[in-house]
Amino acid sequence: MSIWEYANPVKFMRTSGAILPWAVAGAALCTVGGLVWGFLTPEDYKQGSTVKIVFIHVPAAMMAINIWVMMLVASLTWLIRRHHVSALAAKAAAPVGAVMTLIALATGAIWGQPMWGTWWEWDPRLTSFLILFLFYVGYIALWSAVEDPDSAADLTGWLCLVGSVFALLSRYAVLFWNQGLHQGASLSVAEGERMSAVYRYPLYLSMLGFFLLFLALLLIRTRTEIRRRRLAALQAREARA
């Protein structure tokens, strides 16, 4: 059995239909569980109760970058192998990625005001995240602007390749430029930098929840795109007849 079998829309619809209920149940359980558990954690000696924001901010930021990477893989699959389902999956993922980026930016600003004394700073990580958000918006706009689906998939595929530079910068900006306000990795494994277990475990659960939520939304949205494509094909056939 090959992974390319899932490039067949019928096979994809059948398999995704079977996975979807489990993804939805897992996403609901882990996201609600992680956020409630995180909300009940004790105050941090430095950050006070604002530490609870980490349970949304970190999973959202992680997904914002990883969704773009997933879109990159799907776009490359389209550009190289011309599998329509992969192009539709990239298109389906973009609005979810944009929302995750917006959540990371908004929660970061809300947390930054009392902790850093400012809503916004032109810090390397913050700035690269803002650019990543603009890339998401541009990517969605480009899909809407081009009428021919294959041309839209080609153009957005190339845009995705260019935007990947900023997705990587968002992840490693703190290492490239260390003059910014933003701290390093929240889940460092280095001795002395490791987050306390009280916060670490609910954070793991929340991260798993956000991943499953993305998976569920990706499946739903890709199924929507396949149905729209089939509907358009049927309407075109009817118009020709």
Residues lying near another protein in the complex (CB under 8 A): 35, 39-40, 43, 48-50, 52-53, 56-57, 60, 95-96, 99, 102-103, 106-107, 110-111, 113-114, 213, 217, 220-221, 223-224, 227-228, 230-231, 234-235, 237-238
By beta-carbon proximity to another protein, the closer residue of 63 and 169 is 63
Smallest distance, Å, CB 31 to another protein? 8
Report phi then psi at 48, rounded to 5.
65, -145
Q: 135-138 long-range CB contacts below 8 Å, 24 or more apart?
A: 135/68, 135/159, 135/162, 135/163, 135/166, 135/167, 136/68, 136/94, 136/97, 136/98, 136/101, 136/163, 137/98, 138/163
Contact 88, 230 (CB under 8 A): no
Q: How far apart are CA 227 and CA 233, in angstroms?
A: 10
Q: How far apart are CA 74 and CA 3, in angstroms?
A: 13
Residue among 26, 31, 37, 86 at smallest CA distance from 63: 31
By beta-carbon proximity to another protein, the closer residue of 175 and 231 is 231
By beta-carbon proximity to another protein, the closer residue of 20 and 168 is 20
By beta-carbon proximity to another protein, the closer residue of 35 and 85 is 35
Q: How far apart are CA 40 and CA 9, in angstroms?
A: 44
By beta-carbon proximity to another protein, the closer residue of 185 and 234 is 234
Report phi then psi at 189, rounded to 5.
-95, -5
By beta-carbon proximity to another protein, the closer residue of 43 and 193 is 43
Q: How far apart are CA 132 and CA 129, in angstroms?
A: 5
